[in-house]
Structure formats: structure tokens, C-alpha cells
């Protein structure tokens, strides 16, 4: 069973992703509300996959992504973006993100992205 670290500053968004994943037999490695927490939790939990919000306080998703990739070049990270964040999404992909999902989340799109990235 693959484990997923969920990173988003909105508790509601984390809950939505957690709900989708739990129903589909993924293990929740942990949750983080900003980029600083994300990097710490990544070190602690060594998840198979991270879903990373782009816009967060303290440290945004792209900075956190870069740090996680330095810790583990093979880390699998999927970015979560709001509409209209294309340039940030491109940044994220260039920084090593494997895919992205757009809010509001569609369960099938979330699962498709995760299955594709985990192979």
C-alpha cells in the first residue's frame, strides 16, 4: 500500500484528498499545512508520494518541492494548483514535480495522477 503525504494550508483541502485516498486504499503518511512542515514531515515519514499545494504561507510549494528533491532526488511529488497558476505549475514541473492536479479536485483525476506517478 502506497503512503501519501498531503500538504495544503487549507484543512478542508487536506480532508478532501485524504477522503479520496483513504477510500482507494492509500495510506496517509501525514499532513502538513505549509512548506516548512512539508519538508520536516517528508524526512520523518518517507512517503511514496507527496501532494503539494503551490500557494502556502511560510514556504511555498515550489520551495518545499526543491528542498524535498535535494533530500531525495527520486521523491515523487504532485502539485496542487488553483486555476490560473500555469506559470507556477511550469516552474514546479521544471523543479521536479511529476504531475499536477487542479482545484477543485475531481476524485478520478487525483487517482489517475497518483496511479500514473507511482507506476
CATH of the domain at 60: 3.40.50.2300
What distance in Å separates the CA atoms of residue 119 and residue 85, rounded to the nearest whole number? 26
The parent domain of residue 31 ranges over 3-118
Provide the number of structural domains found in the chain.
Answer: 1
Using alpha carbons, select from 4, 94, 10 the residue that is nearest to residue 50.
Answer: 4
pLDDT of res. 56: 93
CB 64, CB 96: distance < 8 Å: no
User: How many H helices and E strands in the chain?
Assistant: 5, 5
Per-residue pLDDT of the chain (119 residues; tens, 9 = 90+): 999 999 999 999 999 999 999 999 999 999 999 999 999 999 999 999 999 999 999 999 999 999 999 999 999 999 998 878 788 899 999 999 999 999 888 999 999 999 999 99
pLDDT of res. 105: 87
Query: Could you tell me the pTM of the whole model?
Result: 0.95
pLDDT of res. 63: 97
Amino acid at each position: 500500500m502506497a503512503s501519501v503525504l498531503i500538504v495544503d494550508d487549507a484543512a478542508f483541502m487536506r480532508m478532501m484528498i485524504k477522503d479520496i485516498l483513504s477510500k482507494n486504499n492509500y495510506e496517509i503518511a501525514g499532513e502538513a499545512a505549509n512548506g516548512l512542515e512539508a519538508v520536516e514531515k517528508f524526512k520523518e515519514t518517507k512517503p511514496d508520494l507527496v501532494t503539494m499545494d503551490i500557494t502556502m504561507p511560510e514556504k511555498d510549494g515550489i520551495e518545499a518541492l526543491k528542498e524535498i528533491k535535494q533530500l531525495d532526488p527520486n521523491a515523487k511529488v504532485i502539485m496542487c494548483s488553483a486555476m490560473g497558476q500555469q506559470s507556477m505549475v511550469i516552474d514546479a514541473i521544471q523543479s521536479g514535480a511529476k504531475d499536477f492536479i487542479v482545484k477543485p479536485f475531481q476524485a478520478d483525476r487525483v487517482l489517475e495522477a497518483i496511479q500514473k506517478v507511482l507506476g
